[in-house]
Amino acid sequence: MRFDGYAVLITGAGRGIGEATARRLASEGARVLLTDADGERAEKAAAALRADGLTAESATCDVGDRAAVEAATAHAADRFGRLDVLVNNAYSFHPDPDLLEDVRDEDWARDLDITLTGALRCARAAMPHLAAADGRGAIVNIGSVNGEQDFGAHAYSAAKAGLAGLTRTLAGHGAPRGVRANLIAPGTVATPTWTGREVSLQQAAAHYPLGRVGRPEDIAAAVAFLASADAAWITGVTLPVDGGILVGNVGLREALRGSAQPTCRIR
C-alpha cells in the first residue's frame, strides 16, 4: 500500500493508460480523482473502481481550459484534504497529411495546447498543493517515444519532446519545494484508440525487441514507481517504457541476418 493516504489527480483518465493508472494507484491505497474532457467517460471509469472497493471520484476537465484545470485541482484538494501526485496523461493527436505543406495550423496548435501547455496548466495549478505534501509531491508526465525519436506525427512528436523539456524544468523548480517531476515515454500501447486497427498492432509488435506492444498496465506500473517513495531520489528523468524499441531495430537486425521476416511475434 505505497499510496496509503495519498491523493492523486490524473488527467485523461477516462480510458486507456489514464484509467489503468488510476486503478493501479487506487489499488495501492490512493484516493484518486479521474478527470477527462469527457466527464461521462471519467465517471464510468471511477464508478468501476468504486465497485471494486477503491476510492475514486471523477470530474470533467478540459486541460485546454485554465479555469477547468484550476477547478478540478481545487476539487481534488478540497475533497481529499490534500494533493500529493499529479499525473499528466491528457493529449491531443492529429495524424500527419501526406505532405508537410498540408499541415494545418489549427491541428498543430491543438496538439501542442492540450499535450504540452495543458500539462503546464495542471502543474501550475497543482504545485502549491504538491509543495505542501510533506515531501511526497510528485508529477509524472506521460510522454512518448515520439518525443525521443522519429516515428512520424509532427505536432504530437514536438509536443511530447517539449513535455520532456518541461519535465526537466519542473524538476529544477520543484526540487527545493520537495516536489519531484519525471516523465515516462511509452512505446506503442494497445489502448482503445487502436480499436479497429488490431492488425496494425500485430504488425508493430514484430518490430519490438520484447516481441509485443505495451499494455496500459505496463505504463501504470511505471507511474506507480515514479510517483512513490521508491523513487524518492529520482527527478527530472525520462523513463522509456517501450519494449526496447529505442535501443533495438528488429527489422534491420533480421535483414542483416538474411531473414525475410522478423523473428519476434506478439505474445
**Which residues participate in catalysis according to the annotation?**
156
For residue 90, give every residue at least 6 positions away whose Cβ sits within 8 Å of its Cβ, in sequence order, or none.
11, 12, 18, 36, 37, 63, 114, 115, 118, 119
Of residues 93, 86, 166, the one with CA closest to residue 131: 86
CA atoms of 110 and 156, how far apart (whole Å): 10
Of residues 123, 35, 134, 46, the one with CA closest to residue 84: 134
The residue type at 219: I
CA atoms of 32 and 111, how far apart (whole Å): 26
Phi and psi, residue 74, nearest 5°: -65, -35
Is 69:113 a contact under the CB 8 Å cutoff? no
The DSSP-derived string for 32-50 is: EEEEESSHHHHHHHHHHHH
